[in-house]
Structure 1
């Protein structure tokens, strides 16, 4: 007996397999769709949705790269404006702790390891394209806000072990910009500690917070240990950034606040179709500049949050991090 699963147009495609013969006595008949991987049949309309989802992912990625480029240039710009003669700002944590210069490298190790784990977990998710699309948009938007702050205000040197090398020529300025862009501002990857002035707000904290949010929101409750480890690691990295004198406390707090507010506002819109279709004036996020882009990116999303199915007994990594 023929069996076809037809899905709601607003959700990701999951098309059932056809078991049996369609019409006549032939084998392997078709219903006018396109056969996908594993023998599944894609409805023509569902094919259109899949193509539009890929386009939206590309748009979010281009947006992410563009915002990252602007932010990298703003870091190079702030570095050249930095004056080492200015006294550090008063910071309560600085007053009760001594500089721990090793802590910056420790924070970056946490950032890199947690980032690799986040990438693996997101790639294994049944809605990986949605996760990457949302990650790219949120990352790009927060980095664009950071770029504006760095262009406008340069805080004084907090007293870390950075070398703060100013550009002596335009060519060196461009070279610094390229190094910052391709290393994502991570000193361990650029093998350089020559960039200062990019304090408010912390780019390291933005990245760590987004990694944390992806793990918390897109891994199932079975991965209890993984969630707790991510919480401890993220908090530790934030503390390390401050005690290393890589950032002021206000840099880290502001980065966490801005990143989490944008992420939660985005998902409030993404997971509530009525908020996207009706555009209620009393709904505060609808007044934000990026609201139209969120509506575009999440046009095909449904009402309910995506349930992660990556953790199972067949996956040793998730079994290792599961709570028993």
Structure 2
């Protein structure tokens, strides 16, 4: 904490002979903290506020320091008597710009920037995090002795990187609800895959459709397994990001919501049109493995329980061939491409920009995975293209709305109608989710601390109640 003498040194206006020459200097050549009323006159004339010069400089003697500390509420006060709303707003914008250009000087005078410069509602949460922190860093770099002043408890300028942002709460309940949404969608997808498998066109009557890529690239038998291996590697990287990301529950909620929505759309496209099998090597008959051979009987076409059993096999194996799942008819569009693309985009979005190796690695896995799908002749080229386009566009649209609250608030009713899941899951998220990381032991420690506190309070309250009853029973006056 500074003494009065230290504060005076902090905002010292310079030696006496320098102060005497201030009146002869142009206002652009000196700091606004050193402006006299004459300099304020020049500044107001330059910014087209000539009507208010007499009011400010003659009646109220506003110099540079007073000008920097003016707020819009000051301009609205009856003591100033600014009648024209347009004049007041234009002057307010000019003063705000001047304050933004001289943040260091305002902080050195010991004032709170967040109170002086009232940012719009949509920017309120991100302004102190960025501008005030940058001002703090610049001041401490110039004068290390300011660090104690900036880091004092309750200071607006202390490093709050570890503080909880009230607009980025984990909301575990919503995350569990989004997980349930994805769980239901995966079951619907598995059941639809059973239905479309039964409707796949006869390979003898309907040969593979013409396809530029499939017609010119020979079938690679092991390619589809390599595609699923690429997806597994992407999943491992994504789980690593979730483990250390501070806002892991927001990321999980978005991942479950977007994945469920894309796969739900895939159910519609799969069932409305059945494309012919893209490769003659594919076995679209009940002779793939023991489970399928046992379940592919004539009874299954009339038994719902049989279809549910087959859907469970697909769901249990996540639709992956390396898990023994074999399906046909689920071509428009590629579910493997959806998974690869979704994982890639989430990893690149929620890792720092300087991690070029990770981003390059995930994009290579994404592109090679798509190539392996086509090389295995498991999907038509249009299936893969549509899957990549829909997944990437939906991801970008979702995050564009989430990162720009003004776009959503501009027409909230329409947003709720067209994007109900987005409106629900993102209702409490204000602004961009920063890529901040912490040890996975931190939330575990908080949980343990919460449990300990609850148990301690419960035991203490129970003990107090029992002690009170015992005292009451032994007190002779109670009789």
TM-score w.r.t. length of structure 1: 0.75
1:65 paired residue among 183, 194, 200: 183
Q: How many pairs does the alignment contain?
A: 268
Partner of 2:225: 105
Instruction: Compute the displacement of 1:192 (Å).
Output: 3.6
Q: Kindly provide the CA deviation profile for residues 82-102 of structure 1, in whole angstroms up to 9, marking residues without a partner as x.
A: 122211111000111111121
Q: Kindly provide the CA deviation profile for residues 201-231 of structure 1, in whole angstroms up to 9, marking residues without a partner as x.
A: 0000000001100111011123211110111
Q: Kindly provide the CA deviation profile for residues 48-71 of structure 1, in whole angstroms up to 9, marking residues without a partner as x.
A: 9857x1121112111111111111
Closer, same or farther: CA 77–10 of 1 in aligned 2, 3 Å? farther
1:212-231 matches, within 5 Å, as 212-231=344-363
Q: Do residues 152 (structure 1) and 275 (structure 2) align?
A: no
Instruction: Structure 1 unaligned segments of length 5 or more: list them.
Output: 2-7, 12-39, 312-324
Q: Do residues 117 (structure 1) and 117 (structure 2) align?
A: no
1:184 paired residue among 312, 318, 326: 318
Which structure's relative contact order is higher, taking Cα pairs within 8 Å and 6+ residues apart? Answer: 1
Closer, same or farther: CA 162–146 of 1 in aligned 2, 3 Å? same
State the alpha-carbon separation in 2 of the partners of residues 131 and 89 from structure 1. Answer: 40
C-alpha contact 2:168 2:430 (8 A) present in aligned 1: no
C-alpha contact 1:64 1:136 (8 A) present in aligned 2: yes
Instruction: Compute the displacement of 1:173 (Å).
Output: 2.4
State the alpha-carbon separation in 1 of the partners of residues 370 and 247 from structure 2. Answer: 29
TM-score w.r.t. length of structure 2: 0.52
Give the match's secondary structure for 1:222: coil
State the alpha-carbon separation in 1 of the partners of residues 412 and 168 from structure 2. Answer: 26
Instruction: Compute the displacement of 1:301 (Å).
Output: 1.2
Instruction: Compute the displacement of 1:41 (Å).
Output: 10
Instruction: Structure 2 unaligned segments of length 5 or more: list them.
Output: 2-122, 127-161, 287-295, 440-479
C-alpha contact 1:138 1:263 (8 A) present in aligned 2: yes
State the alpha-carbon separation in 2 of the partners of residues 89 and 41 from structure 1. Answer: 58
Q: Do residues 256 (structure 1) and 388 (structure 2) align?
A: yes
Q: Kindly provide the CA deviation profile for residues 139-160 of structure 1, in whole angstroms up to 9, marking residues without a partner as x.
A: 0000000001111111100116
Give the match's secondary structure for 1:265: helix
State the alpha-carbon separation in 2 of the partners of residues 275 and 221 from structure 1. Answer: 25
Q: Do residues 130 (structure 1) and 250 (structure 2) align?
A: yes
1:1-324 matches, within 5 Å, as 50=169, 53-83=171-201, 84-85=203-204, 86-159=206-279, 161-165=281-285, 167-168=296-297, 169=300, 170=303, 171-189=305-323, 191-193=324-326, 195-279=327-411, 286=415, 289=418, 291-309=419-437
Please identify which structure carries the higher helix content. Answer: 2
User: What CA RMSD, in Å, does the superposition of the two structures yield over aligned residues?
Assistant: 2.9
State the alpha-carbon separation in 2 of the partners of residues 49 and 219 from structure 1. Answer: 17
State the alpha-carbon separation in 2 of the partners of residues 270 and 147 from structure 1. Answer: 26
State the alpha-carbon separation in 1 of the partners of residues 355 and 308 from structure 2. Answer: 44
Closer, same or farther: CA 287–101 of 1 in aligned 2, 3 Å? farther
